[in-house]
A and B are shown apart, each in its own frame.
Chain A
């Protein structure tokens, strides 16, 4: 019943790449969520739509876009290979990239709700007390939006753990290199290794349940503020 060492290795790898992808999208998520929550600007609807796109596009299609984006035939892929010696496609970096792109909309949406829930009156009061924009943001806005942002981080992480379609296209399923929990479950089912599939399924359920529960808790507390 207990996962084998190889399965544990897959669980650790999955958690590590998902944590890294969540960490990478965090500053960008806030940078997108804040103007979406607070400002009116031309092109806002376009950006809103673009950010939400990975939620509605088939993950395999998103994976194909990533594959094109990072392939050596594209400008970005070639630049990374030639100048930094980095190959993204079919490496752990591709797993991170797929997880990041697929979970980005969830972080942005929750963080946006978090920013919208902050009473702007308090920011104005902080300004009358001599605080500049940066101080207001870091001492008032961010702490008061933190539960919404926290919920977004948890949801993004959980989405990254469950990512399959984009990952298999851009990273493949290379044992010991790009195999994640979802890919391993798929592989185990294909090969008829039911016991392994169910062991990993239980791990997935525990992670997903914990993440969604924590996210709901944070959002509820955020709404109470």
Chain B
């Protein structure tokens, strides 16, 4: 994976988010306190926010180029976005949520419907209504739905927030092996050092919209 973020400038309420960075690692973390601009950075990559200035490209495909007045439509970016808030479609069953982004018949067998649902242990939930799900089940289905859309990059925005410690550990283990299992690179936003150390090869530390450090999570957070 090669994610290039150049001259990014996005005005937020309390500061301007700025980034000028190339990311190559398959499991990169964005670490920082609440309100430091982590979510805004992910949303800009996904195309959900329009920056004042930026050049963003994934594997040499331009996503955003304000200099050329170009923005690749969100649906063509093939980004699997897992937000921290509830994002399952409430009027659809679990199965239909999962199939929304893909028909589950991916040529890549690792991303088949059966493999993804069994890996995330949600096979028994398929015919449930989303409003009957627990928070942990909900998050695993959101991750599965993102995977089934066969994304080129997974953006995970604090997916374990609001889960209890036991559930967090169980899903953390699954998230840790997500890349090994499906081969999809990920950007993982968190403010929890434990999550960053267990999941990420490299982290960017963000504070008030600026990247203040970059390196191995063990070195920076231990």
Task: Show the binding face of A for B, using Cβ within 8 Å.
Answer: 121-122, 124-132, 139-140, 143-144, 225
Q: Is the interface of A mostly helix, strand, loop or mixed?
A: helix
Flag whether B191 is at the interface (Cβ < 8 A): no
B90 touches A126 (CB 8 A): no
A131 touches B90 (CB 8 A): no
Q: Give A131's nearest chain B residue, CB to CB.
A: B75
A128 touches B85 (CB 8 A): no
A129 touches B149 (CB 8 A): yes
Flag whether B89 is at the interface (Cβ < 8 A): yes
Chain B residues lying within 8 Å of A128, measured Cβ to Cβ, are 46-48, 74-75, 77, 79-81, 101, 146, 149
A124 touches B91 (CB 8 A): no
**Neighbour of B100 across the interface among A124, A129, A143, A225, CB < 8 A:** A129
A124 touches B90 (CB 8 A): no
Taken together as a complex, chains A and B put the C-alpha atoms of A143 and B96 apart, in Å, by: 14
Taken together as a complex, chains A and B put the C-alpha atoms of A87 and B101 apart, in Å, by: 51
Q: Is the interface of B mostly helix, strand, loop or mixed?
A: loop
Beyond the given A125-B83, A125-B89, A128-B149, please list 14 additional residue pairs across the A-B interface where CB-CB is below 8 A.
A121-B87, A122-B87, A125-B81, A125-B87, A127-B75, A128-B47, A128-B48, A128-B101, A129-B145, A130-B149, A131-B75, A131-B101, A144-B90, A225-B90
Chain B residues lying within 8 Å of A125, measured Cβ to Cβ, are 81, 83, 87, 89
B89 touches A121 (CB 8 A): no
A124 touches B89 (CB 8 A): no
**Neighbour of B83 across the interface among A121, A127, A130, CB < 8 A:** A121
Taken together as a complex, chains A and B put the C-alpha atoms of A151 and B134 apart, in Å, by: 31
Taken together as a complex, chains A and B put the C-alpha atoms of A128 and B154 apart, in Å, by: 11
A144 touches B91 (CB 8 A): yes
Q: Mark B5-41, 1 if CB is under 8 A from A, else 0.
A: 0000000000000000000000000000000000000
Chain B residues lying within 8 Å of A130, measured Cβ to Cβ, are 75, 78, 101-102, 149
A124 touches B48 (CB 8 A): yes
Shortest B118–chain A CB gap in Å is 21
B75 touches A132 (CB 8 A): yes
Taken together as a complex, chains A and B put the C-alpha atoms of A126 and B149 apart, in Å, by: 11
Number of A-B contacts (CB under 8 A): 52
Q: How many residues of B contact A (CB 8 A)?
A: 23
Q: Give A129's nearest chain B residue, CB to CB.
A: B101
Q: Which 5 A-B pairs have the closest CB atoms?
A: A129-B101, A127-B74, A128-B81, A143-B91, A125-B87
Taken together as a complex, chains A and B put the C-alpha atoms of A67 and B47 apart, in Å, by: 51
Chain A residues lying within 8 Å of B75, measured Cβ to Cβ, are 127-132
Chain A residues lying within 8 Å of B149, measured Cβ to Cβ, are 128-130
Shortest B155–chain A CB gap in Å is 9
Shortest B136–chain A CB gap in Å is 19
Q: Give B148's nearest chain A residue, CB to CB.
A: A129
Chain B residues lying within 8 Å of A127, measured Cβ to Cβ, are 47, 73-75
CB-defined A-B contacts under 8 Å, sample of 15:
A122-B89, A122-B90, A124-B48, A125-B81, A125-B89, A126-B100, A127-B73, A128-B75, A128-B101, A129-B149, A130-B75, A131-B101, A139-B100, A140-B89, A144-B91
Taken together as a complex, chains A and B put the C-alpha atoms of A130 and B79 apart, in Å, by: 9
Taken together as a complex, chains A and B put the C-alpha atoms of A132 and B74 apart, in Å, by: 9
Q: Give A130's nearest chain B residue, CB to CB.
A: B75
Taken together as a complex, chains A and B put the C-alpha atoms of A72 and B104 apart, in Å, by: 60
Chain A residues lying within 8 Å of B100, measured Cβ to Cβ, are 126, 129, 131, 139
Chain B residues lying within 8 Å of A144, measured Cβ to Cβ, are 90-91
Taken together as a complex, chains A and B put the C-alpha atoms of A11 and B146 apart, in Å, by: 53
Chain A residues lying within 8 Å of B83, measured Cβ to Cβ, are 121, 125
Chain B residues lying within 8 Å of A225, measured Cβ to Cβ, are 90
Q: Mark B38-78, 1 if CB is under 8 A from A, else 0.
A: 00000000111000000000000000000000000111011
Taken together as a complex, chains A and B put the C-alpha atoms of A143 and B100 apart, in Å, by: 14
Chain A residues lying within 8 Å of B46, measured Cβ to Cβ, are 128
Q: Give B145's nearest chain A residue, CB to CB.
A: A129
